[in-house]
């Protein structure tokens, strides 16, 4: 059985970032507060700080994701770390090397931190339990399970625009069933004290017993968007779908795509978010994605600062 929280040491200090589940609010706020200081760094002419100089950080992406890998690489380089990108999918594993064999080889190369993305849920947990002390593991997405840094940058974005969590209604709309982002967001939002988290989706795109996560379930956008402060649109993950979950993309957009008309149902100052990449005309209308309530591009910018914060905290440094 997987240890549910191998990410904290005996002193409750963060050693790995694997999931939002089980992390105390104090640690989430520590990461968000540290990220605030790094936003200033990313806006300077010289965007480098020496906190991780001499550290070796390996991007282990067993599953492709240009956006996530690139933001981790930029974050590590801005902390002055040495960054190594390994295209695992077409190298070691294709030659028969196991996941833990790969990790053992990187440990022998004196890796300090492993950024892991894998199609199998629990892969990052397995690696974290296997590595020697002093090597830190960050989960950059595992199967349908978790994507903690995406959730953290979303929490950072929400706090930037809404200041507080305790008075918000947040709606997560779309493919909840296949989304590791949604699971991480729900855990983070509830931990940080958001009083009402809604999920809006057709029944075919909701996991069974999702209510147990503490969310309010809606199948109708017109009802679910009423008086919402934050809208999080999710990508339809067709690559993870088995069987017919939807009649067509056009039908999905008709009922669950975010249009200017549907956005009017939310609060006038509501913000629109999307973890990306977006399918315009499927989950979101271009006029909304590019509109004044959209904070989708700031999410990407804040993602660098948040990932800098996570890496610096794991390495025992804060600015």
Annotated binding site: 67-68, 95, 117, 147, 150, 180, 235, 276-277
CA-CA distance, 300 to 157, in Å (whole number)?
10
Structure tokens that stand for 173 in this block: 């709309």
**175 within 8 A of 199, measured Cβ to Cβ:** no
Residues 6+ apart with CB under 8 A from 205: 174, 175, 176, 177, 178, 245, 246
Provide the CA 240 distance to its chain's centre, in angstroms: 17
Residues of the binding site for L-aspartate? 95, 180, 235
CA atoms within 13 A on the CB side of 70: 5
The alpha carbon torsion through 125, 210, 61, 9 (nearest 10 deg) reads -30
Nearest-10 crossing angle of helices 25-42, 296-314: 110
Residue 58 and residue 66: Cα distance in Å, rounded? 15
| Numbered residues of the known binding site for carbamoyl phosphate | 67-68, 117, 147, 150, 276-277
């Amino acid at each position: 059985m997987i240890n549910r929280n191998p990410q904290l040491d005996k002193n409750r200090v963060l050693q790995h970032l694997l999931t939002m589940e089980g992390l105390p609010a104090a640690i989430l706020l520590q990461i968000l507060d540290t990220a605030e200081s790094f936003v200033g760094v990313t806006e300077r002419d010289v965007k480098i700080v020496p906190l991780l100089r001499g550290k070796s950080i390996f991007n282990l992406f067993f599953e492709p994701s240009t956006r996530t890998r690139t933001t981790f690489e930029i974050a590590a380089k801005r902390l002055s770390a040495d960054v190594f990108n390994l295209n695992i999918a077409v190298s070691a594993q294709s030659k028969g090397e196991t996941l833990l064999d790969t990790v053992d080889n990187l440990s022998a190369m004196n890796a300090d931190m492993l950024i892991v993305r894998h199609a199998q849920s629990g892969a990052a947990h397995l690696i974290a339990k296997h590595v020697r002390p002093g090597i830190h593991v960050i989960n950059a997405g595992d199967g349908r399970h978790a994507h903690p840094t995406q959730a953290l940058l979303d929490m950072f974005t929400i706090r930037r625009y809404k200041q507080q969590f305790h008075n918000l209604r947040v709606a997560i709309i779309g493919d909840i069933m296949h989304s590791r982002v949604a699971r991480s967001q729900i855990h983070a939002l509830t931990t940080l004290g958001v009083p009402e988290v809604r999920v809006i989706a057709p029944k075919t795109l909701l996991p069974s017993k999702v209510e147990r996560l503490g969310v309010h379930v809606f199948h109708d956008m017109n009802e679910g968007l009423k008086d919402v402060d934050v809208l999080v649109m999710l990508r339809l993950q067709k690559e993870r779908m088995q069987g017919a979950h939807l009649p067509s993309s056009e039908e999905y957009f008709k009922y669950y795509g975010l249009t200017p008309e549907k956005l009017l149902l939310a609060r006038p100052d509501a913000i629109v978010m999307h973890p990306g990449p977006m399918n315009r005309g499927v989950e979101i209308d271009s006029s909304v994605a590019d509109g004044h309530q959209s904070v989708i591009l700031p999410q990407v910018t804040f993602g660098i600062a948040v990932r800098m914060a996570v890496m610096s905290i794991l390495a025992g440094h804060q600015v």
